[in-house]
Structure 1
């Protein structure tokens, strides 16, 4: 929340404008207050969009249409007008956390509360559909938990079934992972699409994890259309309620009335909104709103000072909503309790700009300049760079770990006592986990570096993490599980494989399994609930540890061969045919990369692409033709495949353009330490580690 600036309106219709709440792609949102002291969220189109008369008319018309929903289950649209050439929409101002924030702060909801949530949201959809509308963007961030129960907000893309959607060029008209398959495919959307979104919302509420996951937006959308929802973490008693909502066929999804009946929340389940941690959040936000909108002496007029603005925010912000596709802004500033387990939500990931040669961003046949380069940015013994939303974590040159901003490479925070060579992990993009010199597991807020919880885990190095725990190797070479909710050691076991030393083993945790690529080439899977061995693959790699990557329950493993297995059971799914090499007993596959329906891996210094479901070589022009360094990671980002090719003295980054049939596009001849490099990527940026230099490269 910010004070008003030059150019901001002082009044819009009956609303006195108090402060700036946020700004999105479509417009700006303000805190407004009418003559009777009632607050509202007031959204105004950006000036450059307000000049389009058709867009302006649609902006107001769709908001007026949404006013037809008058039930108490939704945030009401209060007014919408075009005034002085500036169209605006005022919506009811709700106090309370969004479902997204509530789950992030307190964990998944228990079964009775999920049932109460399901019944309330089903009634909300019934009311919306009865008014002839389809919401089209139901998601955890668009559900506010108030003392009166859940309320649905943001009618920015709601519309009649025959109407148009208010979007701008390049906007994604649906939130990945929550929009129905027909929305992803651009087909006609009706009321069943909202039911699909409801199912995805309930998976998140019950498990704390999305129903569909992927490393990239396209991968998530592929899972929505072709994959199965992740119901394994949903309590079994709730799966019959949620599963039918996520049917691919719209006609197979239940009606909201049936969902409400089947939810059957027990008596008193709605107390979650009035007592306990959620109620405390709501009360804190209400106090913050009161301070903001009530001047000294109780007058309902006068400007809001910067001190009052910040004071009102300091005791808890409020969730507010406006239409027009600009989504919502959550002004949360903690829940007032503090402490090592009071973890703020993950910050928004700043998206890099995707370059386009047709728009003059670069010349075909040439390579654009890096986004930024910082020489001597990292220590020589750094692990791979770790992007975590708005920062990238590496070993600091003078010891410890450092987080640099992904936009400009500047240092955001450091943790001098952390031991980088013991590796670091992202915990849901909210915390960075590391170890100190005493083997203590330490955590820091990813965006700010604020220290959080610790555990005396006697850690030698970290293996992996999931939503429940952090998994590590102890100093006596055993595997240990430390709970994220209480920092307590849950179990410690022998791995059944040689873990090596100096962080020689790696891990991957998902679906109740910790899969370890051991230093001796074995692959071992442990049950994350108690550490018992679930399955193993001895001798997977003849030269060091095997490579691991996954998509949902499909685990890809490289080493002596490229194969896929069921992550939970270890059962084989397919094995790619190894190339025949004269006078050689075996070949070695490089680390695998899963992207969408494909897995990429290199063998004999050439990258290949395989169908993830079948293991068949994909129809790709560059299968086995473009050379790369055997241990090079293969990174998919933007519309390109990135890899490293080196010789004895130097190397470079090669990029293959997927959009032009696989022709080579860019070559960065910039690697000067071919024995110490790594590639990783996130949010339309590729990060290159070259010795002690860290570079961020653009994507196309």
Structure 2
């Protein structure tokens, strides 16, 4: 949630606007509150588009389409004004994850859950079609799971059943892999088109992957028109129910009423969104939405600036996700800063809680399945990547890594390569759920679907390497030549334009170690190779604060951000307030040294980059590993590594109860400890790992360095 800015309206119809929830290509979505204290998501057409007759007509049609459907499976339209001034549509809040999020977070549905989902969605399609409309964009991200069942959102391209298309010549509203063959070909799309999309949605819900896939959008659309769906993993009963929906010819697809009957979910099948981990997720989000309404009511009664901030902050601690129906991409994580102290106070004293189990997770090693003091065999690997590779990125059941040919994704279960995308091997990458962005050899930023490697978009940016990413922007370094960088830039993911440019804190070689960065809560925190720790405002690019952690060194260090605090290694292990850089505490290094060079001085040793786990930090300083209270900066315990050890400055990593530490000196490799008892579990010989990274996910530890990537089991 962002505060209102200059140009934002204060009121639309009966709704007083209190914050910006998000923005799309056609408009903004605001949080609104009426006189009774009820909240709504208010979608407003951009002012510059309100004068375009075609776009205004599309906006009007969205409102009319959504209002025409009366169904418990469709989000309610609360109000609309589609004439004069600034057209707007107000819809109810829907709390809960999209189907995409539900499958990513909690895994595919079982057979009874798929039946319940299919029957409910088929009933909703009956209601939509009974109103004389075809939705035309049924896909997982347009389905919201609530405690009352799935709800369909976004009528932006819905059309009367007899209509052909809403877009202008040359544009294509089809979502790859979900639009029917006739929609891909630009032909008339009737109710059977929605049935095809429903079949693709149910296949995704049951297997966790898309029924139609390919190396790029054109390949996916070709598969839809000419290929066969990938329905591997479906049980025979589900295959018999879903496959007919995906028939190429519209007349061969079943009617929604028949689908509802055929799905016939067993009694209590709707427990998929009433009980279990997914139900708990839905319940939490719905509870947070109620708090949102309550806090908005009390906050707006106070002075407008601070009150809005307080209400957003209070919800940020809970990680609220709220949806506005009828708006493309209408999902926002409220991650503002101020309530973070409360969130940190609730951290588990034994570390961060384990994430929800996923179907692709490995089984931790049980006692008797490994020999203490002897490393177990790798789960898979090594596979070839590239020297000086950035840290690999877990994306659901895939691990994204940089290779000599660009970016590749490997299955976390066995290390087999799933896809490859040609890109600049020095361009690095960053990602979030549903998107990975890299730089190609021409300096273009490219957005990839992490599940398929298909390029979703490509824009010129003169990018040398990607630094970081958040929900709104990609941050990258650019420069006048291939060897030197001059600026840090923000690329807006909504407008696909450069938002701002700021001088790079270290205008040196653009190699992969040139700078490392983290984006969090309106700040881009950059640690440069020259020892500068810099925080930029992600909205404006203005310098928020800057400190010198150490003189010129050999490596940049990855800062860690948790709640409203930045933790960084170097000459000291220090905690800084994220908003203004105020130093909260620091611990000097025993191993830090400065040596003269021909031109200046160079720093060696010092604290490694820290790893955060609940209320603790873990970092190495020469031959010692230290656990520190991240709030007070006091040392909880120290473990002595080999006395000749000079570990790399990459952060330690945690997975399960196991702490993984890079070692050097006479025992190069990795050491694993029980994080509570400090008892060594086993060493792992990993000779001369150049730019090593340890990344834990799904009960596996991924080791990346010296052009190789491998997976190890954990305890």
Equivalent position of 2:333 in the other structure: 331
Asked whether the 8 Å contact 1:13–1:83 carries over to 2, the reply is no
TM-score by length of 2: 0.51
2: CA distance, partners of 1:119 / 1:309: 37
SS in 2 for 1:126: helix
Is 1:181 the counterpart of 2:181 in the alignment?
yes
CA drift at 1:266: 1.1
2: CA distance, partners of 1:34 / 1:353: 48
Equivalent position of 1:346 in the other structure: 433
1: CA distance, partners of 2:291 / 2:269: 31
Equivalent position of 2:243 in the other structure: 243
Classify 1:233/1:332 alpha carbon distance in 2 versus 1 (closer, same or farther; 3 Å): farther
SS in 2 for 1:136: coil
CA drift at 1:66: 2.5
1: CA distance, partners of 2:296 / 2:285: 19
Superimposed CA distance per residue, residues 313-371 of structure 1 (whole angstroms, 9 cap, x where no aligned partner): 332423323547x342243779999535359961545699999xxxxxxxxxxxx9944
Is 1:15 the counterpart of 2:29 in the alignment?
no
Classify 1:483/1:55 alpha carbon distance in 2 versus 1 (closer, same or farther; 3 Å): closer
Classify 1:208/1:458 alpha carbon distance in 2 versus 1 (closer, same or farther; 3 Å): farther
Is 1:102 the counterpart of 2:102 in the alignment?
yes
CA drift at 1:398: 8.9
Asked whether the 8 Å contact 1:341–1:453 carries over to 2, the reply is no
1: CA distance, partners of 2:102 / 2:151: 14
Equivalent position of 1:465 in the other structure: none
Asked whether the 8 Å contact 1:80–1:90 carries over to 2, the reply is yes
Equivalent position of 2:272 in the other structure: 272
CA drift at 1:309: 1.0
Write out aligned runs for 1:176-215 (5 A): 176-215=176-215
Asked whether the 8 Å contact 1:136–1:179 carries over to 2, the reply is yes
Asked whether the 8 Å contact 1:31–1:42 carries over to 2, the reply is yes
Equivalent position of 1:313 in the other structure: 316
Asked whether the 8 Å contact 1:66–1:159 carries over to 2, the reply is no
1: CA distance, partners of 2:355 / 2:74: 32
Classify 1:396/1:174 alpha carbon distance in 2 versus 1 (closer, same or farther; 3 Å): same
Asked whether the 8 Å contact 1:66–1:133 carries over to 2, the reply is no
2: CA distance, partners of 1:235 / 1:40: 41
2: CA distance, partners of 1:40 / 1:190: 31
CA drift at 1:137: 0.6
Q: How many equivalent pairs are there?
A: 422
2: CA distance, partners of 1:376 / 1:197: 48
SS in 1 for 2:155: coil
SS in 2 for 1:225: helix
Asked whether the 8 Å contact 1:294–1:300 carries over to 2, the reply is no
Classify 1:296/1:270 alpha carbon distance in 2 versus 1 (closer, same or farther; 3 Å): closer
Equivalent position of 1:498 in the other structure: none
Gaps of 5+ in 2: 336-342, 357-393, 396-431, 443-459, 465-477, 486-508, 529-555, 560-568, 570-650, 663-667, 670-683, 687-694
2: CA distance, partners of 1:352 / 1:415: 20
Classify 1:180/1:44 alpha carbon distance in 2 versus 1 (closer, same or farther; 3 Å): same
Equivalent position of 2:606 in the other structure: none
Superimposed CA distance per residue, residues 291-330 of structure 1 (whole angstroms, 9 cap, x where no aligned partner): 3322488587554421211222332423323547x34224
1: CA distance, partners of 2:16 / 2:147: 27
CA drift at 1:236: 3.5
Asked whether the 8 Å contact 2:196–2:245 carries over to 1, the reply is yes
Asked whether the 8 Å contact 1:212–1:229 carries over to 2, the reply is yes
Equivalent position of 1:114 in the other structure: 114
Write out aligned runs for 1:142-161 (5 A): 142-161=142-161
Asked whether the 8 Å contact 1:453–1:487 carries over to 2, the reply is yes
SS in 1 for 2:120: helix
SS in 1 for 2:201: helix
2: CA distance, partners of 1:278 / 1:312: 20
SS in 2 for 1:294: helix
Classify 1:182/1:296 alpha carbon distance in 2 versus 1 (closer, same or farther; 3 Å): closer
Superimposed CA distance per residue, residues 392-445 of structure 1 (whole angstroms, 9 cap, x where no aligned partner): xxx99697996899xx9987996699xxxxxxxxxxxxxxxxxxxxxxxxxxxx
Classify 1:186/1:81 alpha carbon distance in 2 versus 1 (closer, same or farther; 3 Å): same
Asked whether the 8 Å contact 2:654–2:660 carries over to 1, the reply is no
CA drift at 1:69: 0.9
Superimposed CA distance per residue, residues 76-127 of structure 1 (whole angstroms, 9 cap, x where no aligned partner): 2222213651111111211111111111111111111111101100111111
1: CA distance, partners of 2:169 / 2:242: 34
Write out aligned runs for 1:502-517 (5 A): none
2: CA distance, partners of 1:33 / 1:200: 37
Gaps of 5+ in 1: 356-367, 379-394, 418-448, 462-473, 477-481, 490-500, 510-700
Asked whether the 8 Å contact 1:36–1:300 carries over to 2, the reply is no
2: CA distance, partners of 1:253 / 1:450: 54
Write out aligned runs for 1:156-555 (5 A): 156-163=156-163, 165-167=165-167, 172-295=172-295, 301=301, 303=304, 304-323=307-326, 326-331=328-333, 339-341=353-355, 346=433, 348-349=435-436, 370-372=462-464, 453=655, 485-487=698-700
Asked whether the 8 Å contact 1:206–1:235 carries over to 2, the reply is no
SS in 2 for 1:89: strand
CA drift at 1:67: 1.1
Is 1:88 the counterpart of 2:88 in the alignment?
yes
CA drift at 1:282: 2.0
Equivalent position of 2:457 in the other structure: none
CA drift at 1:65: 3.2
Classify 1:213/1:369 alpha carbon distance in 2 versus 1 (closer, same or farther; 3 Å): closer
Classify 1:226/1:411 alpha carbon distance in 2 versus 1 (closer, same or farther; 3 Å): farther
Classify 1:223/1:296 alpha carbon distance in 2 versus 1 (closer, same or farther; 3 Å): closer
Asked whether the 8 Å contact 2:45–2:87 carries over to 1, the reply is yes
SS in 2 for 1:305: helix
CA drift at 1:162: 3.0
2: CA distance, partners of 1:177 / 1:262: 24
2: CA distance, partners of 1:7 / 1:28: 12
CA drift at 1:268: 0.7
